[in-house]
A and B are shown apart, each in its own frame.
Chain A
Amino acid sequence: MSHVVPNLVNLDPRTAPPFPQAALPMLRNPQLRKNVGHAIDVIQSKRAKLVAEKTDWQELRSAAADIRMHVLENLGSYLEQFEANCTAAGGAVHWAADAEEARHIILDLLRQENASEVIKIKTMTSAEIQLNPFLEASGVRAYETDLAEIILQLGEGEPSHIVVPALHVNRSQVREIFARRMGLKDLSDDPQALTNAARHYLRQKFLTIPTAISGANFLCAETGSVSVVESEGNGRMCLTLPRAMITLAGIEKVVPRFQDLEVMLQLLARSATGERMNPYTSLWTGVTPGDGPQRFHVVLLDNGRSSMLAHPKQRQTLKCIRCAACMNACPVYRQTGGHAYGSVYPGPIGAILTPQLMQMHHAQSLPYASSLCGACYEVCPVKINIPEVLLELRAQVTDIERKTFSRFLDPMYLGLRIANLLFARAWTFHLAQWFGRIGLSLFTRKDGWIHSLPSMGGKWTQTRDLRGLPGQNFHEWWAARRKEAK
């Protein structure tokens, strides 16, 4: 009962069903919608309050947007700077062109450490490359340490949000998962008790597992430092206690200088969780003797990102700092939750990021998963014009479909082609009107309204009435009027 429909959820964009289809089970699940709606209301109201108190919010947004765009325009230089400085500080930098390469690099590093277990800080990038199932199949057990990630890992669920990945799961569902998987029969559903259970479950793992994997919020080119932003302290545990540390980061995560964090950190916590600052931000530089892991690797992941850079309009997608403000503000996400997007990146940013990561071969329905209301653009701390990119991607999807033969089987395409033919000349238009008037008169009631139509037309009349065609069109009325005048 309390399972979170794990079997219906597929977050691999290569095989996930199109958005409208994937959204249906979510829309029919009142519990899920209630959980999502509640979580989003809480974050939204906290965010709104803290953004309002910041008098220089728009200036911070502009600065962040410009810094991020400057980085993307000069990404090669900044990545090489980061590599040189990280290496000089004792880190090792690896480059992965795609997901498969990243997985193998990480597995090789884990084998060098003789690791059969690894502790992980929440990283959506590792979910993007489907790292955990790969490690599992290769004999390395990965333990997620973020509370939400533990809930999902133990409950065999999938993330539905990039900041609060288990926001679709409520306390009684968490209780059921923890009670079952941690063997705690008497566990209550009080969030404090559930959190304590997670603390005890993980404490020994932190102290005994000597290898860790993290993501990165920011890579600092000037210093070669890496920064991770978190709330719970599981990140600090993973960054401090193990002997070896592997950080997986998208190539776009770099910022030019240490000082740029003064902009990013002010925006990120307010946008993500509605806090002035998240409880813990960590920054480290390569290896520090006597403090923290003594072997440190960074894996820089391309996986489709460099191809996004080439398009001037689409490039801005890579400005993203993964705060999730766009999904919290999105009226579509609010109704469907994250799983409908068929990707680990849901919501408006997912709708533009996922198809591009897939080089437009998959996830082609996602650019349409939006009403283009613009709320996402308004809240975005780095000013990504998501509606603009959505439209650009829709155009690309149309261009792709234009070249496929199966379009001749698509009723909408055929309907529009026929309309095109009919509307092009006056006499065909009149003919169509004449037929339409006869046809629709069969369904028009005495009150002049059509209340239900058969077949495809029924999709319209299911939710709205349609006015019947009048007995006379404008042309006829005009002609009759002139005749009368004579």
Chain B
Amino acid sequence: MTAPADSRQRILDRIQAATQSVAKNPASLANAYAELPRGYVRHGSLSAEARLELMVKRLREYDAEVVETTPQELASTIASQLAASEKHTVVAPPGLPADWFAVGFNWKIDRSLTAAEIEQVEGVVTAAACGVADSGTIVLHHSSTEGRRVLTLLPDWHLCILRASQVVETLPEYFDRCSQPPALATYISGPSATADIEMTRIKGVHGPRFLHVILVHDEG
């Protein structure tokens, strides 16, 4: 067995020998990249209303529960969602806005909870970074309002609060909104699922089995 350091050079040498005709310096590489044709649809064509309708439709197709509300009624909507699902002990990321903590429930704030502790709770409430209507995708960048990755993974029930102003129509529009690439990201398109047995779609393998979304109409 060769030392790994040698392998690195050997592989790069082999690649170099095989691809020698092409862009060599960073500037010409960047130019070649910039010239790649991108004829696909970047921007959606739906009205704001239709875009949100599509988002809700897609989420429901994925068996997510969706309710819509206004910024003023958000706290009471969170409370009614928790109550309707009979969730009492829920976990929340440390940056969740103070007025989201509905009264009458046992809130655990994630200040480095262990996996075992998170596993014990009945549900999790977080914000989102973005929503993509075309595919019904909820984007988490795991900031202090969206929580560490483990937070939205172990609890079986996830209540995600998505603001209407965060919803874009196409996936490229989401990428346009990222002024900087996120270090961590999870794109959720419906609850955990498998079709490994006879292509029968089964909900809930390892991730949360129940995804609830509150769409907050914060625009206009």
B is bound to A: yes
From known contacts A67-B36, A74-B23, A276-B136, infer whether A151 and B196 are also in contact, taking CB-CB under 8 Å. Answer: yes
Q: Which of the residues A62, A171, A231, A241 comes within 8 Å of B197, measured between beta carbons?
A: A171
Add 17 more A-B contacts to A101-B2, A236-B207 (CB < 8 A): A39-B198, A74-B29, A76-B16, A77-B29, A94-B4, A96-B4, A146-B196, A164-B195, A191-B197, A195-B202, A232-B206, A233-B192, A240-B150, A258-B181, A291-B149, A306-B18, A309-B14
Distance of A101 Cα from B197 Cα, bound (Å): 35
Give the shortest distance, in Å, between B44 (CB) and chain A (any CB).
Answer: 11
Residue of A nearest to B174 (CB): A262
Task: Report if B84 contacts A (CB, 8 A).
Answer: no
Chain A CB count within 10 A is highest, among B58, B132, B192, B208, for B192
Q: Which residues of B contact A286 (CB under 8 A)?
A: 183
- Chain A residue contacts of B51, Cβ below 8 A: none
Question: Is A317's beta carbon under 8 Å from chain B?
Answer: no
**Interface flag for B15 (CB, 8 Å):** yes
The interface residues of chain B lying within 8 Å CB-to-CB of A375 are: none
A236 near B7: Cβ-Cβ < 8 Å: no
* CA gap between A221 and B79 in the complex, in Å: 44
Interface stretch of the complex, out of A9-17, A198-206, A338-346, A450-458: A198-206
> B39 near A56 (CB under 8 angstroms)?
yes
Number of interface residues of A (CB under 8 A): 100
User: Inside 8 A of B150's CB, which chain A residues have their CB?
Assistant: 240-241, 291-292
Q: Mark B44-69, 1 if CB is under 8 A from A, else 0.
A: 00000000000000100010000000
Known interface pairs A76-B15, A147-B205; A231-B193 also in contact (CB < 8 Å): yes
Report whether B112 and A290 are in contact in the complex, using a CB–CB cutoff of 8 Å: yes
Q: Is A273 located at the chain interface by the 8 A CB criterion?
A: yes
A461 proximal to B (CB < 8 A):
no
Could you pull out 5 A-B pairs where Cβ atoms are within 8 angstroms? Answer: A42-B195, A95-B7, A198-B205, A234-B205, A236-B149
Query: Is B83 part of the contact surface with A, judged by Cβ < 8 Å?
Result: no
Please report the C-alpha to C-alpha distance between residue A322 and residue B123 in the assembled complex, in whole angstroms. 35
In the complex, chain B residues whose CB is within 8 Å of the CB of A166: 196-197
In the complex, A263 Cα to B42 Cα: how many Å? 10
Query: Chain B: which residue is nearest A41 at the CB level?
Result: B199
Check A199–B191 contact: CB distance below 8 A: no
**From residue B170, how far is it (CB to closest CB) to chain A in Å?**
8
The answer to whether A70 touches B33, judged by C-beta atoms less than 8 angstroms apart, is yes
Type the 1/0 row for A256-271, where 1 means its CB is closer than 8 Å to any CB of B: 1111011101100100
The reply on B187 being an interface residue by CB < 8 A is yes
- Asked whether A276 lies within 8 Å of B36 as measured between CB atoms, the reply is no
Sorted from nearest, which 4 A-B pairs have the closest CB atoms? Answer: A233-B207, A233-B206, A258-B181, A309-B18
Contacts of A269 in B (CB 8 A): 189
- Decide if B22 is an interface residue (CB 8 Å cutoff): yes
Smallest distance from the beta carbon of B97 to chain A beta carbons, Å? 21
- Please report the C-alpha to C-alpha distance between residue A74 and residue B18 in the assembled complex, in whole angstroms: 10
* B window 148-199: CB within 8 A of A: 148-150, 153, 171-172, 174-175, 178, 181-199
A285 to chain B, nearest CB (A): 4
Residue picked from A63, A97, A307, most chain B C-beta under 10 Å: A97
Specify which chain B residues have a CB less than 8 angstroms from the CB of A56 in the assembled complex.
Answer: 39-41
- A234 closest partner in B (C-beta): B206
B103 to chain A, nearest CB (A): 29
Q: Report A112 CB to chain B, min CB distance, Å.
A: 14
Task: Give residues 84-127 of A contacting B (CB, 8 Å).
Answer: 89, 94-97, 100-101, 104-105
Do A192 and B202 form a contact, CB below 8 Å, given A223-B181, A239-B149?
Answer: yes
Q: With A241-B150, A265-B171 in contact, do A207 and B119 touch (Cβ < 8 Å)? A: yes
B207's partner among A101, A147, A232, A302 (CB-CB below 8 A) is A232
- A residues 43-101 with Cβ under 8 Å of B? 43, 55-56, 59-60, 62-63, 66-67, 70, 72-77, 79-80, 89, 94-97, 100-101
- Residues of chain A within 8 A of B136, CB atoms compared: 276-277
Among B11, B185, B192, B208, residue most surrounded by chain A Cβ atoms (within 10 Å): B11
- B116 located at the interface, meaning its Cβ lies under 8 Å from any Cβ of chain A in the complex: yes
Q: Give B95 Cβ to nearest chain A Cβ, in Å.
A: 13
A485 at the interface (CB under 8 A from B): no
| Interfacial chain A residues near B37, Cβ < 8 Å | 62-63, 66
Partner of A309, one of B19, B29, B135, B195: B19
Closest to A237 in B: B206
Chain B residue numbers with a CB within 8 Å of A378 are: none
Is A245 in the interface zone, CB < 8 Å from B?
Answer: no
User: How many angstroms between the C-alpha atoms of A199 and B40 in the bound complex?
Assistant: 39
* A303 to chain B: closest residue by CB: B11
Residue of B33, B119, B142, B174 contacting most chain A CB atoms (<10 Å): B33
Query: A148 on the interface (CB 8 Å rule)?
Result: yes
Q: Are A279 and B192 in contact (CB under 8 A)?
A: yes
- Is there a chain B Cβ closer than 8 Å to A282's Cβ? yes
Contact flags A179-223 to B (C-beta < 8 A → 1, else 0): 000000000000110110011001100110000000000001011
